[in-house]
Amino acid sequence: MNRVKKKIPKISDKELISFSEALSEAGITLMGPFGALPKFFKAYNDTMMEIAYREKTEKISKIVKELQDITDEDIKNIKKIIGIEVNLVQFREFAENILIKNILKIKKELRAVKEISVEGRDYSKALIDWQLYKNGLIDRLPKETEEIISKRIRPKEDEFFRKILVNLEKYVQKFYEGKLKEAYEGLHDLIDIIEKKKKKLIIENKNSFDLLKDKLFEYLSLIYTQIGAMKFEEKEYRTAIEYLKKGSEYALFSSNFSLHIECLYEIGASEGMRGNHKKALKNFKDVLPLAEKYKKQSLPRVLFNIGVAKTFLKKHEEAIKEYDEAIDVAKKIDKFDTLASAHYNKGYALTKLGKHEEAIKEYDEAIDVAKKIDKFDTLASAYNGKGALFGNRGQHKEALRFFERGMKHAKKSGDINIIIETWQNICLALKNLDMKNEFEKCKKDLNNFLSRLKR
């Protein structure tokens, strides 16, 4: 980081005395309890150092506010006493320079204070720099100050964000406990808290806002994204999209492209669940170049979902190309979850194209990978796909065997839709084998299961 840019003009003691006495006669208490008169420099220095060591340097902000509160009427009084034409802007600039000169003098003298450790002196100087920067009196923080702030001053601001994060996790837990109203109200309260802090910083301290804005926007994005994810789980996909779009906007403001990518991805998934596969495809395509540049770990998943959207649009040949790309990238970066899913979906697309032998190979690949990572939903789906192909050939015993294997994994997955699909496949295989008693029992058990779900 660059050092301080603003040049401090040399101000002689004579100039300072003249200026300070003029202020005093004009009734202006510039620099509050410290004063600006050189004859009080010793007391001023001692006071400033004490304040620095006690971490009370925020009083510099009070001084700056007093400076900003000076009016044109005050300036007229100064003109009469000094006899110099000076406007309000010039006066403030000159006064700021005096303030900076005095404070830089304090910093210099801090080096000679032997009673305090070197670390303590450096921290005091950093606190002074921090206040100067926050109040716009210097353009940039010195490098050594930036390092100290990162370790000791910024954590105080980080405590605000830590509390936000703790509460975010708390309200997400409430959601999964079924306390939906409490969860959503809590998350919206967190949004209000961050928005209030943002507005306060913009009004009171532009430099502090500039320093913290990325994190403020990032945490707003996190909360909006989380609400979007919760709405997705509730199958309120339209509402989920609205929140995810907000999350995406704030992620861009914070330059957090990883979070922006996640939002766009989830918007695509939501559009897909609504049946808007063209919109889903567009979203996933928009994400692709961003994932390639900023978040390569998500690349297999994005390629896979482009394939899924194309499968729903019945563009099976194109979908297979996307699955092949997803498989290739997933292997390179050990994304076994996506690897298993891509093999299964490729098998499904090949089935739709009538390429059954190739499809069976893909289902077997999906089963091999899914077994290694206990991906039960993909295992169940792959066994179902394989069983359906054998059933189409009239090999109903083999089909039943695969469906029954699929049911073991479907139950472990806990996915109701996969359980129902697998159960229906078992019943159909029993019917095709003319196993009437077993078929009737299967059908009765399935109907009872569906009735319990409706209650």
Looking at residue 70, its pLDDT comes to 56
Q: What is the secondary structure of 245-295 as a DSSP string? A: HHHHHHHHHTT-HHHHHHHHHHHHHHHHHTT-HHHHHHHHHHHHHHHHHH-
Looking at residue 207, its pLDDT comes to 60
Residues 251 and 159 in one domain: yes
Q: State which residues form the domain around 71.
A: 13-141
Residues 57 and 111 in one domain: yes
Both tokens of 167, joined, read 């509460």
Q: Which helix (H) or strand (E) holds 125?
A: helix 118-134
Coil, helix or strand for 38?
Answer: helix
In which band, very low, low, confident or very high, does the pLDDT at 53 lie, cut at 50, 70 and 90? very low
Residue 144 pLDDT > 50, yes or no? yes
Considering only CA atoms, give the Rg of the chain: 34
Does residue 324 belong to any structural domain of this protein?
no
Query: At which of 141, 170, 196 does a domain end?
Result: 141
**310 within 8 A of 320, measured Cβ to Cβ:** no
In which band, very low, low, confident or very high, does the pLDDT at 118 lie, cut at 50, 70 and 90? low
Which of the pair, 19 or 124, is modelled with greater confidence?
124
Residue 302 pLDDT > 60, yes or no? yes
- Mean per-residue pLDDT, 195-222: 81
Residue 31 pLDDT > 90, yes or no? no
- Mean per-residue pLDDT, 397-402: 96
Residues 112 and 161 in one domain: no
Looking at residue 89, its pLDDT comes to 61
Does residue 294 belong to any structural domain of this protein?
no
Coil, helix or strand for 316?
Answer: helix
pLDDT tens string 274-295: 999 999 999 999 999 988 888 8
Residue 50 pLDDT > 50, yes or no? no
Does residue 223 belong to any structural domain of this protein?
yes
pLDDT tens string 63-73: 555 555 556 66
Q: Provide the CATH number for the domain around residue 197.
A: 1.25.40
Residue 10 per-residue DSSP state: P
Give the whole-angstrom CA distance, residue 366 versus residue 245: 34
Residue 139 per-residue DSSP state: S
pLDDT tens string 341-391: 999 999 999 999 999 999 999 999 999 999 999 999 999 999 999 999 999
Spatial CB neighbours of 263, under 8 Å, sequence gap ≥ 6 = 221, 225, 228, 244, 245, 247, 248, 251
- Mean per-residue pLDDT, 411-433: 94
Q: What is the secondary structure of 362-396 as a DSSP string? A: HHHHHHHHHHHHT-HHHHHHHHHHHHHHHHHTT-H
Q: What is the secondary structure of 326-365 as a DSSP string? A: HHHHHHHTT-HHHHHHHHHHHHHHHHHTT-HHHHHHHHHH
What's the pTM?
0.65
Query: At which of 141, 175, 207 does a domain end?
Result: 141
**Per-residue b or e along 315-345, where b marks 16 or more CB atoms closer than 10 Å to that residue's CB:** bbebbbbbbebbbebbeeeebebbbbbbbbb
Residues 172 and 114 in one domain: no
- Mean per-residue pLDDT, 392-410: 95
Looking at residue 116, its pLDDT comes to 47
Which of the pair, 235 or 142, is modelled with greater confidence?
235
Query: How far does CA 278 lie from the centroid of its chain?
Result: 27
Does residue 221 belong to any structural domain of this protein?
yes
pLDDT tens string 150-160: 665 555 567 78
Residues 227 and 268 in one domain: yes
Residue 421 pLDDT > 90, yes or no? yes
pLDDT above 90 covers what percent of the chain?
A: 51
Residue 39 pLDDT > 60, yes or no? no
Looking at residue 130, its pLDDT comes to 65
Does residue 216 belong to any structural domain of this protein?
yes
Looking at residue 318, its pLDDT comes to 96
Count structural domains, the chain.
2
